[in-house]
Amino acid sequence: MLTGRTPARGTGGSVARGRREGDRVRQPTEIRRQLIVEAARVLIADRGLFAASMRDIAQGAGVSLGTVTYHFTGIAELLAEVLHAEMDDFYRPISARAALEPDGAAALGTIIDGFFADGARTVEHWRLWLDFWTLSAHDQFHADWQVKVYVQWRADIVAILERGRTDGTFEFDDIDVAAMEFMAVFDGWAAQAFLPGGPIGPQRARALLHDYVDRRLAAAPDTARSNREPHRRSRDRT
């Protein structure tokens, strides 16, 4: 994935025209595909799935419209490809940081802080996923892929919860129920925080999720294992 490349913009927020056909440098096929996906990621996040055209994406990527349609049948297929890349570019680094934390509670806190971080990149990520939720409601192919993503997401959360139960930072009766409840609250606050004009922002959503974990999952202090090193986790409160 080529990072840092965004569609050039002119005045008024419109995408600047790509170079003339004769001025374009012909790139290898895989590089052209990556340029298209990166341009699509920025445009779809900025304008929305149904307001970004294939022509605009071609201009943003600096390739011809024919090159875009050669690689992708339409915007929906491009969004799916963008989200595949998001798994590597956005989710996996957060998951890797969580794996390095000293206990389950700290790992879950890292997941929350990563997905609800301040900044344009987090907003961009959630706008892509919110569009994909809408698309999946009407398209079986994308719905099936989304189910696979959530199966993996649930497995990751279950693993963190099990880790916390083992190290004494979490306690609950049913791990499957605990995971499903956390995921539902997580997605609910994401919609509240990242929909345009939403009632809260990422900072407030982070605080609410940390509070939920403390109330519903955290082990009572006197039941935590005595050999566990205390871990101080900073939280944003509003």
From the list 114, 8, 107, the residue with the least C-alpha distance to 57 is: 8
Burial (Cβ within 10 Å: 0-12, 13-18, ≥19) of residue 214: exposed
CA distance 86 to 146: 13
Name the domain count of the chain: 2
Q: Supply angle C-alpha 182, 177, 130, rounded to 5.
A: 40
Are residues 166 and 119 part of one domain? yes
Domain hosting 63: range is: 11-71
Are residues 37 and 67 part of one domain? yes
Are residues 153 and 100 part of one domain? yes
Give the Å distances, CA to CA, from 177 to 98, 149, 154.
22, 19, 11
What digits encode the pLDDT tens for the residues 126-153?
Answer: 988 888 888 788 878 778 888 888 899 9
What digits encode the pLDDT tens for the residues 162-193?
Answer: 999 999 999 999 999 999 999 999 999 999 99
The overall average pLDDT reported for the chain is 80
Are residues 133 and 85 part of one domain? yes
- pLDDT of res. 211: 97
Contact assessment for residue 114 and residue 209, using Cβ atoms and an 8 Å cutoff? no
Are residues 183 and 95 part of one domain? yes
CA distance 46 to 58: 16
Burial (Cβ within 10 Å: 0-12, 13-18, ≥19) of residue 237: exposed
In a domain, 2, yes or no: no
Single pTM value for the model = 0.73
Are residues 117 and 211 part of one domain? yes
In a domain, 6, yes or no: no
CA distance 78 to 234: 38
Kindly state the DSSP code that residue 73 receives in the 8-state scheme.
S
What digits encode the pLDDT tens for the residues 48-104?
Answer: 777 778 888 888 888 888 888 888 888 778 877 887 888 888 899 999 999 999 999
How many angstroms separate the first and last alpha carbons of the chain? 36
Are residues 183 and 81 part of one domain? yes
